[in-house]
Amino acid sequence: GSDDDNEGKAGSSGGSAPDKVTYITGFGTFGREAYAYVAQDKGYFSDAGVSVTIQPGQGSAISLAALAGGRAQFAPVDLSSTIMQVGGGKVSGVTAVAAVHQTTDAAVMALADSGISKPADLEGKKIADPAGSVIGALFPAYAKLAGFEADKVDFVNLEPQQLGVNLATGKVDAVGQYRVGRPNIENAVKGKEVVVLPFGKFLTESYGSAVTTTTKIAEKDPDLVRRFTSALLKGMRYAIDHPEEAAAVLAKKHPTVNEKAAAAEIELLGEAVQPKEEGAPIGTMDRERVAGAIKALADAGAVKSGLTPEQLVSFDLVPKS
Amino acid sequence: MLRRVMEFGWPVLGLAAAIGTWALAVVVFDVPEIVLPSPADVLDAFLRVPGYLLGEAVTTLVVIVLGFALAVAAGLLIGVAIAASRIVELMFSPLLVAFNAVPKVALAPLLVVWMGFGQQPKVVMALLVCFFPVVLSVAGGLTSTPVELVELARSLRASRTQTFLRFRFPSALPQIFVGLKVAMPLSAVGAVIGEFSAGDEGLGFVVVQSGANSDTALAFAAIALLGVMSVALFYALVLAERTLLPWVRETTSQR
Amino acid sequence: MLRRVMEFGWPVLGLAAAIGTWALAVVVFDVPEIVLPSPADVLDAFLRVPGYLLGEAVTTLVVIVLGFALAVAAGLLIGVAIAASRIVELMFSPLLVAFNAVPKVALAPLLVVWMGFGQQPKVVMALLVCFFPVVLSVAGGLTSTPVELVELARSLRASRTQTFLRFRFPSALPQIFVGLKVAMPLSAVGAVIGEFSAGDEGLGFVVVQSGANSDTALAFAAIALLGVMSVALFYALVLAERTLLPWVRETTSQR
Amino acid sequence: MIRVRGVSKSFDGRRGTVEALRGIELDVGDGEFVAVLGRSGCGKSTLLRVIAGLLPASAGEVRIADEPVREPRRDVAILFQRPALLPWRSVLDNVLLPIQVHGQPRPEHREAARQLLSTVGLDAPFHRRLPHELSGGMQQRVALCRSLIQRPRVMLMDEPFSALDALTREELCEVLQRVHMEYAATVVLVTHSIEEAVLLADRVVVLSPRPGQVRTVLDVPVPRPRSLGHDAHATELARCRAELHDLLLASHMTGV
Amino acid sequence: MIRVRGVSKSFDGRRGTVEALRGIELDVGDGEFVAVLGRSGCGKSTLLRVIAGLLPASAGEVRIADEPVREPRRDVAILFQRPALLPWRSVLDNVLLPIQVHGQPRPEHREAARQLLSTVGLDAPFHRRLPHELSGGMQQRVALCRSLIQRPRVMLMDEPFSALDALTREELCEVLQRVHMEYAATVVLVTHSIEEAVLLADRVVVLSPRPGQVRTVLDVPVPRPRSLGHDAHATELARCRAELHDLLLASHMTGV
Ligand SMILES: Nc1ncnc2c1ncn2[C@@H]1O[C@H](COP(=O)(O)OP(=O)(O)OP(=O)(O)O)[C@@H](O)[C@H]1O
Ligand SMILES: Nc1ncnc2c1ncn2[C@@H]1O[C@H](COP(=O)(O)OP(=O)(O)OP(=O)(O)O)[C@@H](O)[C@H]1O
Ligand SMILES: Cc1ncc(C[n+]2csc(CCO)c2C)c(N)n1
Ligand SMILES: [Mg+2]
Ligand SMILES: [Mg+2]
């Protein structure tokens, strides 16, 4: 485990023993996840009296299961995902406490030479996307707003790790990807130009991922939640301001990381993280927008309507200016 | 008569015990459905889309059987080559072992890029996952013929082919069947892993799809179907063994 | 002398041939590195972070060995139980087969939830992936003792334990070793699958991470290390077999 | 000691049934030495295995020491037609097997085993060898030692000397007679050799083949120890031999 | 026909070396019948296996029909000490095995096999059974039929009658003599029975044990066909028998 990172840094808040928590990243150890490692490396967590173990994640479903099963206490989970799982009755007892992406980071990427340059070009094309992914779920809503027919697009199931290869070799015309994943895809297709069609352009209400915890923790120890999220978001702030350094921190911890791509991802991340409302802090969440995000998914048929924002977000714990 | 009945009774009892323990565990430890659904949840999930699940099961079954058949063919071929020549053994068996230690999931991208999204990469995956036990048991069986039988073959000046066909192979059959029995469920694993990684058919797809949707109960229903099919295929193999190798039961002591 | 040399020469030749074919294929078919890196790319990737890779390899090695050891223990236990009692066999072997047909990757989330992110779930995964061949070979070996030996045991009024220890078990050993040899690389597969699905250590983690970064060469380097370790473990097993069971080589005909 | 009552045995194979034994009646007294003689395939081994409790009779009953036999007994040693040595055990350990099955072999057991082995002509260098390194006759002698080390009250022996040369056989016949007298053991010896039967047995049971039935029981009224060289009772022995020869021939005629 | 020159054989085991044969010299003429007699473990089987080409000699050379023997030859039939039947083949198919290995069995081969089986006393119902359903002696007879069906020019037989009763043995000795004369086959017969050696062989080679060495070669100057019942040459045969008995005993004394 990565527990050893915490050694030698006594908890400072109140002098009591630090709270031990496990944090699961959104997916793996991409540059877009660097902020947690930065918070760890810079001692923001220990300053906040939290001893954090960071574990690379495997996607929303597994993160939610780990939260529900008590194996992890915090994880950034795509809010759309949470809406669908909670709305479908599969998951309960989890709540979002801070936004990571203010706008959904979902996107579709294609090679420039495939002739795809705008959303409508996707009609009649083959898009690869992992089974059950958020991108696939949001796609109908996106198509509706972007003005083309989702039914005319051919979706194929493909594991996340295979997206780049299959785009590069022309097996598929486009892939579902997070917007920040662009450097990674560019790396995979080796120099060819990549076209990005971000969903956020049309799905303006939808958040991307949000720091999620269990309702139990949110109710029993709101202080822990506040300390943790503020340290995490402090890491985020620092990472966005110092992409190269953040990438280096990540690469030091995980030598498999491509430092250049990671730095580029972090650059891209800043845009999505920045609150749209003037003066609002990173991580802010708005009740109306969450309601809008729910509605967008309900309209797309991805979830039954009737879900309230309070079932998903603990607004009292969300960072406020 | 009672014996016959119990041949079916005991497995049912075993199944009942397993399901009972599972149901109890879910209740006692208050496990959330997303982590471990109860048997009732799984049944519900199955009854929600029985036709769909059975259809996907058939898709997967075809892959399992094809992959297994190819694995048997490949395993026989390689096993025979290894048994026939010390040089082949020395040259290639380390490579085989190394290859077998590769988690085949890691090879999925290659397969998809080469073979696309159809049935083929799944069949190949099933083959790759399950051929090694066949190779080892074939090679092992063929190289442990009792000396007296091989001496008999030599004394008759049997050619290599004849020695193989009439002496080594029949006497290796009991061991080969153990390999086949190990390979059979592995073929199921391979088929499903293949379906995990690409394509939108089969129980494997159902498992990832429902897993990503946190519909663990549906994933379990698919897995249960997979289990049922594998058990049926496994016992078909056991039956084949009994019919084809009557002398084995009578010259060895079962219990 | 020459023989001894060739015992090492042939495998090296085999490896060279394999790597040569691979290198050639990459060049001839102009395969992009992301699909299939050339051997040189893989070597480069290894030399980029050799210390890190070796460290992760050791982590994985420990998991493989622990998982294998537990699988042998569990396999012996279950195999003996199945061989000892027809009722146990009837009740539980279908369940075992069904369980073995479940792709263990599908259970990874469950394991994480039960056991967290440490070494334990990986060891358990290695165990789960590789114990079935051990069970089958133990049960198979124990239930195919030559009748004459079992009659001898009966004629001496050997207790069940004695019959097992002094007659059935030694005569099952050659078959059990085949099971162990199948299980050894599977344990590596299990360990890596475990590392795939949780935690941030081991070669499995390296494979997913580098795969996700489209750094296929690094993934292959990790896989190659895994292969090397498995081959070493496999031949340790072969050596153990030769030393422990000298009579087998002399009463059976290798070739 | 041994009481065989109306024992029949059929084997049900996939290719039909073989009636191996029919209505066998036989009493063997305490300390008596009975030989079972018959042609190849007439059911001698089957009878011995039924008496041993290794094979259930299809009909009838076997009693030893007044207890019905269902499983082999500890006080009965069985010597099989094939040596059935454990291929992974040295010669000495094969001989010690019965001791080990019932407990821990002590030094005196090892001594006894060594003693026995050299009595049958297998000296020290062979004790540590594995069975496959022995000749057929040597293996048979090891099996003989294994059955003798138990000092059994009853010995059931299936052609123990078939793979041995005339001289070794004579020597071992002597050993067996000695053991029989020393331990006061009850012996049932299956043999295909008239010679052996006459030399060793108090009574000879002649089986006629297919199905195996008791044709005659012949007394050999010659005092022990007997030997082939010995000429005192030569005519008596010769008479028995001739009679058995005729009986076997006759059993064959009527039997098939 | 067969020429054995200075053949020695040692086995290197993990527990040291056994010298099984030393400096064996032996010539067997075309159509001659030679018996190899010796005590258990003296190296008879080893010698036969070296002649057969199954075992390489440590020193010396064997030639058959003037060709050095390195591998078994097609015109040589070998009968092993253990029956070595294929457990998955019926009796008939076991007998037909040599034919099948060399080609396709034709109806006349099947007929010949059936004929042979009934000659050795195994009638039709047994032809379709599997070996494990047979008694020890029956298995040995099946193996005999298997070696005879090839109509070999040379027959190397290792104790073919050891598991058979006196009468069956006599019958089969007769069969073997007939075959020997009809096919004009050269026969080397390993046996532990003086009786058998004298009855069948033109010459008897007596081996002394450990290491196996040729002690004497005894001629049996009695015309064929011979039989035990036949009294014409009774004294001659008896003399041979007595002489062999003494030789064996002596070989034992000096040998160990
Ligand atoms: N494979 C082997 N390894 C080691 N020693 C062996 C082997 N085969 C035979 N021997 C030894 O060689 C000697 C001669 O054995 P062989 O089988 O030739 O005897 P034999 O005359 O046929 O005896 P028998 O009449 O008992 O069959 C014996 O001392 C035996 O222990
Ligand atoms: N397991 C079996 N299955 C079927 N038939 C059997 C079985 N064992 C023996 N028989 C048959 O029973 C009969 C008697 O066999 P048994 O072994 O008792 O003969 P035997 O008198 O010991 O002969 P031998 O002197 O040749 O050893 C034979 O006809 C044999 O074919
Ligand atoms: C190479 C690569 N692998 C995984 C992910 C992350 N990811 C996990 S699920 C999913 C699809 C949308 O839900 C994506 C993209 C990535 N970004 N790039
Ligand atoms: Mg018998
Ligand atoms: Mg011999």
**C105 with B105: Cβ contact below 8 A:** yes
pLDDT of E232 reads 65
Tokens of B24: 């109890």
For range E206-228, the mean pLDDT: 79
Residues of E with CB below 8 A from D128's CB?
Answer: 15
Q: Confirm or reject contact between C59 and chain A (CB < 8 A).
A: no
- ipTM of this model? 0.90
Minimal Cα–Cα distance from B248 to chain E, Å? 8
Which of B80, B76, B67, B119 is CA-nearest to residue B233?
Answer: B67
How many angstroms separate the CA atoms of C168 and C76, rounded? 13
Minimal Cα–Cα distance from D146 to chain E, Å? 18
B and A touch per CB criterion (3+ pairs under 8 A): yes
pLDDT of C7 reads 77
**D125 with E16: Cβ contact below 8 A:** yes
**B214 with A162: Cβ contact below 8 A:** no
> Does residue A320 surpass a pLDDT of 90?
no
Range with the poorest average pLDDT among A39-48, A156-165, D247-256: D247-256
For range A55-84, the mean pLDDT: 90
Taking only the tens of pLDDT, chain D with its 256 residues reads 789 998 999 988 777 888 889 988 999 988 899 999 888 888 899 999 999 999 999 999 999 988 898 888 888 999 998 889 999 999 999 999 999 988 888 888 899 999 999 988 888 888 998 999 898 889 999 999 999 998 888 999 998 888 888 788 888 888 888 888 888 889 999 988 888 888 888 888 988 888 888 888 888 777 777 766 556 677 777 787 788 877 777 765 543 3
A and E touch per CB criterion (3+ pairs under 8 A): no
From chain C residues 175-214, the ones with a CB under 8 A of any chain A CB are: 197-201, 205-206, 208-214
Q: Minimum-distance ligand to the CA of E168?
A: 2
DSSP string, A259-319: HHHHHHHHHHHHHHHS-SSTTPPTT---HHHHHHHHHHHHHTTSS-S---GGGTB-TTTS-
The residues lining ligand 3, judged by C-beta closer than 6 Å to any ligand atom, are A 27, 59, 130, 133-135, 160-161, 163-164, 176-178, 181, 184; C 212
Q: What is the pTM of this model?
A: 0.91
Residues of B with CB below 8 A from C29's CB?
Answer: none
**Atom nearest to E49 CA in ligand 1:** 18
Half-sphere exposure of B225 (CA within 13 A, CB side): 29
Q: Confirm or reject contact between D98 and chain C (CB < 8 A).
A: yes
Which of the listed residues D85, D117, D130, D133 should we mutate to test ligand 1's pocket, taking the one with most ligand atoms within 8 A of CB? Answer: D133
pLDDT of C24 reads 93
Minimal Cα–Cα distance from D150 to chain C, Å? 10
- In total, chain A counts a number of residues equal to 321
Nearest to B197 among A132, A159, A171 (CB): A159
**C200 with A2: Cβ contact below 8 A:** yes
> Which amino acid, residue A98?
A
Range with the poorest average pLDDT among A7-11, A30-34, E140-144: A7-11
pLDDT of A13 reads 42
> Does residue B1 surpass a pLDDT of 70?
no
Phi, psi of E206 (to 5 degrees): -100, 125
- D36 DSSP β-pair partners: D190, D205
pLDDT of A12 reads 40
Nearest to B170 among E71, E72, E88 (CB): E88
Going from the Cα of C57 to the center of ligand 4, the distance in angstroms, rounded, reads 61
Q: What confidence tier does A52 reach under pLDDT thresholds 50, 70, 90?
A: very high
Burial of A289: CB neighbours in 10 Å, binned 0-12, 13-18, 19+: buried
Q: Confirm or reject contact between C114 and chain A (CB < 8 A).
A: yes
For range A106-115, the mean pLDDT: 91
Query: Is the CB of D134 within 6 Å of ligand 1?
Result: yes
Residues B109-159 have pLDDT tens digits of 788 888 888 899 999 999 999 999 999 999 999 988 998 899 999 999 898
Which of A213, A214, A177 is CA-nearest to residue A197?
Answer: A177
**Atom nearest to A188 CA in ligand 3:** 1
Minimal Cα–Cα distance from D5 to chain C, Å? 21
pLDDT of C62 reads 97
Give the CA angle between residues D171, D173, D176 to the nearest 5°.
115
Chains that touch B (3 or more CB pairs under 8 A): A, C, E
> Does residue A6 surpass a pLDDT of 60?
no
Q: Is the separation of the CB atoms in A55 and C117 below 8 Å?
A: yes
Residues of E with CB below 8 A from D212's CB?
Answer: none
Burial of A85: CB neighbours in 10 Å, binned 0-12, 13-18, 19+: buried
How many angstroms separate the CA atoms of D192 and D198, rounded? 11
For range E135-150, the mean pLDDT: 90
Phi, psi of B180 (to 5 degrees): -65, -40
The answer, yes or no, to whether the previous bond of E211 is cis (omega within 30 of 0) is yes
Which of D23, D25, D26, D21 is CA-nearest to residue D9?
Answer: D21
For range C226-238, the mean pLDDT: 93
Q: Is the separation of the CB atoms in A158 and B198 below 8 Å?
A: yes
- The H or E element containing residue A19 is strand A19-24
Residues of C with CB below 8 A from B182's CB?
Answer: 132-133, 136-137, 179, 182
Q: What confidence tier does C65 reach under pLDDT thresholds 50, 70, 90?
A: very high
Residues E115-132 have pLDDT tens digits of 989 988 888 888 998 999
The answer, yes or no, to whether the previous bond of A281 is cis (omega within 30 of 0) is no
Q: Confirm or reject contact between D88 and chain C (CB < 8 A).
A: yes
Place of tokens 């062999």: E244
Minimal Cα–Cα distance from C105 to chain B, Å? 8
Which of B171, B146, D45, B164 is CA-nearest to residue E84?
Answer: B146
Which of the listed residues A27, A60, A258 should we mutate to test ligand 3's pocket, taking the one with most ligand atoms within 8 A of CB? Answer: A27
Residues of C with CB below 8 A from D98's CB?
Answer: 156
Residues of C with CB below 8 A from A165's CB?
Answer: 34-35, 214, 216
Residues of A with CB below 8 A from B200's CB?
Answer: 131, 155-157
Q: Minimum-distance ligand to the CA of A157?
A: 3
- Print burial letters for E109-146: b (CB count within 10 Å at least 16), e (below 16): bbebbbebbebbbbeeebbebbbebbbbbbbbbbbbbb
pLDDT of A5 reads 38
DSSP string, B63-119: HHHHHHHHHHHHHHHHHHHHHH-HHHHHHHHHHHHHHHTS-GGGGHHHHHHHHTTSS
Q: Residue E126: closest CA among chain D residues belongs to which residue? A: D15
Query: Is the CB of E81 within 6 Å of ligand 1?
Result: yes
Measured in Å, how far apart are chain B's first and last C-alpha atoms? 21
How many angstroms separate the CA atoms of D88 and D132, rounded? 9
